[in-house]
A = this chain, B = another copy of it.
Amino acid sequence: MGAHKDSFGTLDFLRDLPLFRELDACELEAIGAATIELRVTAGTALFRRDDPCDGFHVIVVGRVKLALLAPAGAEKVVGILGPGQSFGEAAMFLGKRHTLYAEALADSLLLFIRSGAMLEAIRRNPKLARRMLDEMSQRLYSLVVDIEAYTMKNATERVTGYLLAALSDDAGAGQPAEIQLAASKSVLASRLNITREHFSRILHELTQSGLIRVSGRNIRILDLARLRDHKI
């Protein structure tokens, strides 16, 4: 796969990212020249905790899991990312090693943008710096929402919250709407800080109440209003 460098159109993809929308052709070329195309199969580790960080990743196709690993080998999934999303910027800016573990959840095509070119582009283009500040601020917001969920919501609220957020990601305003789980049930359970068994039990309970219907990774929302109101 990928015999010649620009097989899928790296520059076109970069140009379409909101992050790079302010770059002129010449600046974009410089970023493109510092970009490596990575094709990985499901299960590939992209980096591990304490690995040095000299750039950041953008997902073109596929899905990536970010996780904290406990000494005993347990893991806590903190993010499940898809096309257009990026990761690793904070470690890049701080010149620190990675704190998270990143793994492809599906066969994926990623871009790896080296830190030197990125930091230089930010130094030259304040609009890019501002875009990146917005991106990092958005991520801080999301982490605060996560902390709120972990510390102040019960497991059922976290699951219904996840389903409702997935629903608003997939467009569709129709009443019986369908979503597809972004990862396996065990990965999602870890993302929601519950056991796989507890996750299944909650899905079963929501099914019994007539709020959803589950078929593999597909979940059909049967009663959106009641799902929104559902507690405990």
Interface residues in chain A, defined as those with a beta carbon under 8 Å from any beta carbon in chain B: 68, 70, 74, 76, 78, 89-91, 93-94, 96, 99-100, 119, 122-127, 129-130, 132-134, 136-141, 143-148, 150-152, 193
Are the CB atoms of B78 and A152 closer together than 8 Å? no
A150 CB contacts on chain B under 8 angstroms: 147, 150-151
Residue of B nearest to A129 (CB): B129
- If A126-B123, A133-B133 touch, does A140 touch B141 (CB 8 Å cutoff)? no
A89 CB contacts on chain B under 8 angstroms: 137
A134 CB contacts on chain B under 8 angstroms: 93-94
Which of B125, B127, B133, B143 touches A140 (beta carbons < 8 Å)? B143
Known: A76-B148, A76-B151, A90-B136; 12 extra A-B contacts, CB below 8 A, are A68-B151, A90-B138, A93-B134, A94-B138, A99-B141, A123-B126, A124-B126, A126-B126, A136-B140, A139-B140, A143-B143, A151-B193
Are the CB atoms of A74 and B152 closer together than 8 Å? yes
Q: How many copies does the complex hold?
A: 2
* Assembly CA distance A94 to B76 (angstroms): 28
A151 CB contacts on chain B under 8 angstroms: 68, 76, 150, 193
Residue of B nearest to A90 (CB): B137
A68 CB contacts on chain B under 8 angstroms: 144, 147-148, 151-152
Are the CB atoms of B129 and A133 closer together than 8 Å? yes
* Assembly CA distance A144 to B88 (angstroms): 13
Are the CB atoms of B140 and A147 closer together than 8 Å? no
Residue of B nearest to A132 (CB): B133
Which of B76, B119, B123, B126 touches A152 (beta carbons < 8 Å)? B76
29 contacts between A and B (CB under 8 A): A68-B148, A74-B152, A76-B148, A76-B151, A76-B152, A78-B147, A89-B137, A90-B136, A90-B137, A90-B138, A90-B141, A91-B137, A93-B134, A94-B137, A94-B138, A99-B145, A119-B130, A123-B126, A123-B127, A124-B126, A125-B126, A132-B133, A136-B136, A140-B143, A146-B147, A147-B147, A147-B150, A150-B150, A150-B151
